[in-house]
Copies of this chain bind each other. A is one copy, B any other.
Amino acid sequence: MVLVHTNVTPDRTVGFVPSGAMTKPVRRKQHDANSLLQVAVRVFNERGYDGTSMEHIALAAGITKSSIYHHVDGKEALLGLALDRAIDALDGAFLPAGQALEDFGAPIVAIDGVVRRTTKALLDDIEVITLFLRVRGNSPTELKAIDKRRDFDKRVSELVTLAADAGDIRADLDPPVITKLVFGAINSLIDWYKPGGRLTDDQVVDHVSALVLDGLRHR
């Protein structure tokens, strides 16, 4: 997890009691850089990054804007920290094709491994990965994330091509299109998955794997 930033002091908390606290009971909010980042990511996902101001984050965090600047440089720095966290989480899942083959053996097993790992990574860090998948490319920080998305996409597409060449997957399928469809299914989790639903995370991973490898048809 990347949380290193010049203006971040992860072990320090800030407390702020708004004016009026003497007359009305106000819950005192304390944040370290990590909990502040969690709040910021939640607000970015709710309002969209472009529609979020530092005021929105301060309000959601229950602290002042200046308290936030005590932790980070600003909105884009918060975005950068969140995206780095998403990229770290996904980097160990979207293995380069060569390494996936080395780790898992047969190409079809490697595809299953990558599909399972990325799904699990998404469920484990769904907030930052939601942000990562929705970023639109309006700043250098966002463009870096988009480059990374392309890189991940390319790794899987190469693996699917290798699997096709090895005869492990059906020859009538176009690797880039199949890669897009498979990750369309996986990425859709950010739109509908609710933690604590009827299925455990592991069962959701099993469902994704079953669909991708063998489809719905009963044999």
Contact = CB atoms under 8 A, between A and B. Distances in A.
Contacts of A199: 174, 177
Interface string A21-59: 000000000000000000000000000101100000000
A172 interface: yes
A180 B171 CA distance: 27
A80 to B, nearest CB: 23
A191 B181 contact: no
Interface string A181-219: 111111111011000001100011001101111111110
B218 A169 contact: yes
A108 interface: yes
Size range of the interface on A?
A: 35 or more
Interface centre among A50, A51, A174, A218 (most CB of B within 10 A): A218
Nearest to A214: B215
A18 interface: no
Q: Could you say how many copies of this chain the assembly holds?
A: 2
27 contacts: A108-B216, A111-B216, A160-B216, A163-B216, A169-B216, A169-B217, A170-B210, A170-B217, A172-B210, A173-B207, A173-B216, A174-B203, A177-B204, A180-B188, A180-B192, A181-B207, A181-B208, A184-B188, A184-B191, A187-B188, A188-B188, A211-B212, A211-B215, A212-B216, A213-B216, A214-B217, A215-B215
Given A169-B217, A173-B216, A181-B207, 7 more contacts: A48-B48, A170-B214, A177-B199, A177-B204, A184-B192, A185-B188, A214-B217
